[in-house]
Structure 1
């Protein structure tokens, strides 16, 4: 019999995809066991990383009342570490680390004020908040990492340390070459062109090595994936005794959308989709930081028009200066689109700004998804059984694209190695041609083999979170870890 409430300290990373996913795992845990309570310590984003989406989401957290979940917005230093383009990864990490003292103060106060009614049984920290492991150790409680990406990316990240420390490889030189290497857990050789971009620079590699070492200090790693999806990689990780236990707990999704004051926009998009035939519309959306210059926008428009398929296209304007990396909506779409495009595609296509992605992917009219391959987005597309055409942009999205197309056969390729630096939006990446875009759209809308495989995986993902499913069982084991220390 549990005598006191088991309290978990949960710390999300201050990025919209990370914080939303982390809040969802919090909801899942408390809904599964009423003896758990969670205190979420929210780190506000740097001004450079801030956007309307994350600011409004954080504000909504402080206003909402959730059973067994409370929120504390952490203070910031008067002069917090700022974005440094020459040391972007270490400066971002320093920003997170600057909150350790505030976390320490909050947890100490919680422990003092609870007077035996609650007991802190563990920290659950976002993958980019592993510096908080040191704080948890001070209170003699274990830390569980919530890895918001996939098992393949986890395997890659951990292997970087092996390449450097045990195999004595020059990872920077390797990642900037045009070759392939074998990585444990991947069935196919991995092209270096899809490596996570930080390992191409000294600053980035230093961060990745630190990150890899900190992950190994965790009690366990919870991954937003499904055993049936990444079976080979999860078995590989589980067989490595130098790695903490890996628990696939996904898909962890925010299916409520939360459009707020954008509800009229969402209603307009859904009304338009209601008038389209089933599985006839391709949806193009490139994430919270995805935007393109005018040359690339015109190639996308040409590719869409040439494909002949119906479409919904979320088109965002790149940041106008270097103070932020958040795109915005165009006031007048005609300034960036080819002349006459909107008139020629009237009735078969809809160009929008912000997109209610979950609502669109879940609509019966949507049959394909041109995606930046953020892991949350790929999980949502699999959940709804919508096949993807890969167009990675930044972060680990190139590895995600490689896994989906080459390893799993659950997506078609537009590009695997496209990369655009969100920290330098004016740098010119390669141009993806209209012909490549047209080909990818035709494949994702017409390839029945991929569509069938995605539908089967959709059923497996849904079964995984139901009682008796693989992810349901993983969450159960974790809850036992939390609560048995409190009995």
Structure 2
């Protein structure tokens, strides 16, 4: 008999594709527990993105047991609905993304109808509109929430809190917000799209309000990392007035790495154990030249070894969008020469998982994207938190205040920049002080708990098995190959 298929739908962008691909691998690891095939179907990027095409090609080449499909493009959206093309307009990009994903419902429906046996649909957190497709085809739908349990607790609670307010979140400024399961944080630390109270906010609140419609929610975390948030979710405290679907902690789902030839790894091979500070800010993490110079001065003055991934500031590349690879032009004069014995700067990309797990890595300066956060925790490195956009500032609060696995790189009060003195001081503190030693011990213990969670008999292994049992009892259509 032909296997039934679980279809994973990760939404837009490499940052959503990567964790969903790790979820696909988790299905394969548990193959003996459930006899299903896994298909990952990705919407095409709404704008031309060579990085996306390369990521999909790489995913197909390295994961031959997972069927990976890219949907055909939907009809173009009206120009008036696309928002600004300014890279700095993150809120407009959110609006465009939600409209695009809604328009992709028709291609997704056609794809699902083309498959002989579909058991269930697993959706990215931003793909709530695809619940309509699942309902139309009679398929059970689950969400995969690729950030943490505290983030989910807040996300589920936002619609109710906003409905109880007479004003938008932005007007609250630094007022403290409290959600069951999450540490208190400032309203100003909410993602920009939610604080704005505009169309992006309405779209995100609508996604959050629809999430409890799912049969279950998988979370890329492990129970001992966020016990308070997991308890609040399971006790039904985060969705007032209606039931919360079952939540399954299945993380940390992080890449196994496997890069061997990159120059950064060869350089790390020559460094002492736990001696190198690694700085990397994600696929969209760029800084203006002034901030790059402050980081460089701080690293040089700290005297610590460092490996730094630098992306060109917006507008620094040529008209084709290719980055300016002239590091001498981006960094202080003579910096690369003066630090050649203690540091390495690489342009645009390094094999992050392999770097973090290298014996020479000693600390991680990160933008606090959840994928990077889990990779740092799983590698046992203290986190120096430098959030840039989206939910990263909230992640910083969880990391620093709740998990106590990192410290914050604070901006200067009088300007939107982290000064060289602050970079130097935090790097020295983590690498040299007694407080840094205690932090490293806590992170090492968290690393061990992360490994235990995904091992057979661990909490996340058990959570995935529980999810698979529910999947087996779900009433997915045996055959959705219909026409009309």
**Secondary structure of residue in 2 paired with 1:471:** helix
Would you say 1:93 and 2:108 are equivalent positions?
Answer: no
CA 1:436–1:367 in structure 2 vs 1: closer, same or farther (change >3 Å)? same
Stretches of structure 2 that go unaligned for 5 or more consecutive residues are: 85-90, 237-241, 479-484
Structure 2 residue corresponding to 1:473, chosen from 462, 467, 473? 462
Matches within 5 A, 1:30-109: 30-34=28-32, 35-47=35-47, 50-52=49-51, 54-63=52-61, 66-67=64-65, 69-80=66-77, 83-85=82-84, 87-109=92-114
Matches within 5 A, 1:21-36: 21-34=19-32, 35-36=35-36
Structure 2 residue corresponding to 1:335, chosen from 322, 329, 336? 329
Paired with 2:425 and 2:162, the residues of 1 have a C-alpha distance of 39
Q: TM-score, normalised by structure 2?
A: 0.89
Q: Residue in 2 aligned with 1:225? A: 221
Structure 2 residue corresponding to 1:381, chosen from 341, 366, 376? 376
Would you say 1:356 and 2:345 are equivalent positions?
Answer: no
Paired with 1:13 and 1:429, the residues of 2 have a C-alpha distance of 35
CA 1:429–1:214 in structure 2 vs 1: closer, same or farther (change >3 Å)? farther
CA contact (8 A) 2:308 2:345 kept: yes
The Cα of 1:42 is off from its aligned counterpart by: 1.5
The Cα of 1:279 is off from its aligned counterpart by: 0.7
Matches within 5 A, 1:384-399: 384-399=379-394
Q: Residue in 2 aligned with 1:213? A: 209
Structure 2 residue corresponding to 1:437, chosen from 423, 426, 451? 423
CA 1:36–1:323 in structure 2 vs 1: closer, same or farther (change >3 Å)? farther
Q: Residue in 2 aligned with 1:482? A: 471
CA 1:457–1:61 in structure 2 vs 1: closer, same or farther (change >3 Å)? closer
Q: Residue in 2 aligned with 1:448? A: 437
CA contact (8 A) 1:319 1:327 kept: no
For 1:164-198, what per-residue CA distance to the aligned partner results, in whole angstroms no more than 9, with x for missing partners?
A: 22x235233445x1221222112x42122211211
* Cα RMSD, aligned residues only: 2.5
Q: Residue in 2 aligned with 1:423? A: none
Stretches of structure 1 that go unaligned for 5 or more consecutive residues are: 419-427
For 1:85-144, what per-residue CA distance to the aligned partner results, in whole angstroms no more than 9, with x for missing partners?
A: 37432321111111111111111121xxx3xxxx32210111111211110111111101
**Secondary structure of residue in 2 paired with 1:128:** coil
Would you say 1:235 and 2:240 are equivalent positions?
Answer: no
CA 1:410–1:90 in structure 2 vs 1: closer, same or farther (change >3 Å)? same
CA 1:328–1:248 in structure 2 vs 1: closer, same or farther (change >3 Å)? farther
CA 1:323–1:485 in structure 2 vs 1: closer, same or farther (change >3 Å)? farther
Q: TM-score, normalised by structure 1?
A: 0.88
**Secondary structure of residue in 2 paired with 1:56:** helix
The Cα of 1:284 is off from its aligned counterpart by: 0.5
The Cα of 1:485 is off from its aligned counterpart by: 4.2
For 1:364-385, what per-residue CA distance to the aligned partner results, in whole angstroms no more than 9, with x for missing partners?
A: 1110011000101010011110
The Cα of 1:16 is off from its aligned counterpart by: 0.8
The Cα of 1:459 is off from its aligned counterpart by: 0.3
**Secondary structure of residue in 1 paired with 2:449:** helix
For 1:284-311, what per-residue CA distance to the aligned partner results, in whole angstroms no more than 9, with x for missing partners?
A: 0000001111111110011101111100
Would you say 1:277 and 2:272 are equivalent positions?
Answer: yes
Q: Residue in 2 aligned with 1:421? A: none
CA 1:71–1:156 in structure 2 vs 1: closer, same or farther (change >3 Å)? same
Deviates more, 1:177-186 or 1:382-391: 177-186
Paired with 1:233 and 1:97, the residues of 2 have a C-alpha distance of 30
Paired with 1:327 and 1:29, the residues of 2 have a C-alpha distance of 37
Q: Residue in 2 aligned with 1:424? A: none
**Secondary structure of residue in 1 paired with 2:257:** coil
For 1:206-255, what per-residue CA distance to the aligned partner results, in whole angstroms no more than 9, with x for missing partners?
A: 12211111211111110100101000001011111532111110001112
Paired with 2:138 and 2:318, the residues of 1 have a C-alpha distance of 40
Aligned length in residues: 456
Paired with 1:123 and 1:308, the residues of 2 have a C-alpha distance of 51
The Cα of 1:456 is off from its aligned counterpart by: 0.4
